[in-house]
Amino acid sequence: MHPAQKFGDNPVEVRETGHYTEEYVPSFVEKWDSLIDWERRSRSEGDFFIDLLRKRGVKSVLDVATGTGFHSVRLLAAGFDTVSADGSADMLAAAFANGMKDGHVMRVVQADWRWLNRDVHGEYDAIVCLGNSFTHLFSERDRRRALAEFYAMLKHDGILVLDQRNYDAILDDGYTSKHKYYYCGEDVSVEPEYVDEGLVRMRYSFPDDSVYHLNMFPLRKDYTRRLMSEVGFQNIETYGDFQHTYRGEQPDFFVHVAEKE
Ligand code: SAM
């Protein structure tokens, strides 16, 4: 039996940093990985991150949001010395298996960002936190704390690469004009089911009629940039995305690249 997602009687009240481990239940993760196949994802992303890291002479990378390993495996294949961390043991098990399929023995560490330095050792040229992961932190205190942990684990000339969904568009367009994001053609749809300044509850529907949700904190782009600089990062560059799942004017994702010094 697979455990189901648990959001309780009032799902929109679930606004807790630690809840992510109960949201990424194995059945959701398996489904997502089998439908959004990695080849398709690689094609749409191109070599954006690999090029960015190479251009800056990065050798060692800590992937703090490994998930099922998409970026870690690409980084290993590209020759980066990569350590793969995540707070979810289920995710890391899936990532490790995915790495093996590709001939990589991934170095995995289970670690929550809020206590990253306790469980992960060493200093890195780059930390990547990708796939709209930072959105899982529900209090400003946790966000500051996680960023400070990332900062501390970087070499003096290291960089943090962190992406996020374009929540400004979702918040400003309002609940009524919410749009669906389609992946794999029409197979998987992702749409905001509930939106306020403190929560975007995303609904993921699959072709077999199964439905899953994730509760996320809607990070405004300039807010994320401000937090990064307040924690000490210098020179923060923000890119519009490489990938458009929505045919509109606005990018769906932003990628922030922040330098430690
Ligand atoms: N980067 C992967 C990708 O793009 O496919 C996974 C992205 S998934 C949306 C977010 C990941 O962040 C999950 O694997 C989750 O377990 C992890 N995560 C969320 N909050 C975390 C925290 N506080 N500490 C450590 N990992 C966390």
Candidate from 12-26, 111-125, 232-246 with smallest mean pLDDT: 232-246
Whether residue 130 has its Cβ less than 6 Å from ligand 1: yes
ipTM of this complex prediction, to 2 decimal places: 0.99
Cα of 66 from ligand 1 centre, angstroms: 6
- Please report which helix (H) or strand (E) contains residue 163, including its range: strand 154-165
Strand partners, 82: 61
Whether residue 135 has its Cβ less than 6 Å from ligand 1: no
Give dist(CA 25, CA 10) in Å, integer.
19
Q: What does the pLDDT average to over 120-124?
A: 96
Q: Is the pLDDT of residue 244 over 50?
A: no
Give dist(CA 156, CA 260) in Å, integer.
6
Whether residue 192 has its Cβ less than 6 Å from ligand 1: no
* Residue 120 contacts residue 84 (beta carbons within 8 Å): no
pLDDT at 222: 95
Candidate from 15-24, 95-104, 127-136, 245-254 with smallest mean pLDDT: 245-254
Q: Is the pLDDT of residue 121 over 70?
A: yes
pLDDT at 129: 98
Cα of 131 from ligand 1 centre, angstroms: 8
pLDDT at 174: 62
Give dist(CA 165, CA 252) in Å, integer.
6
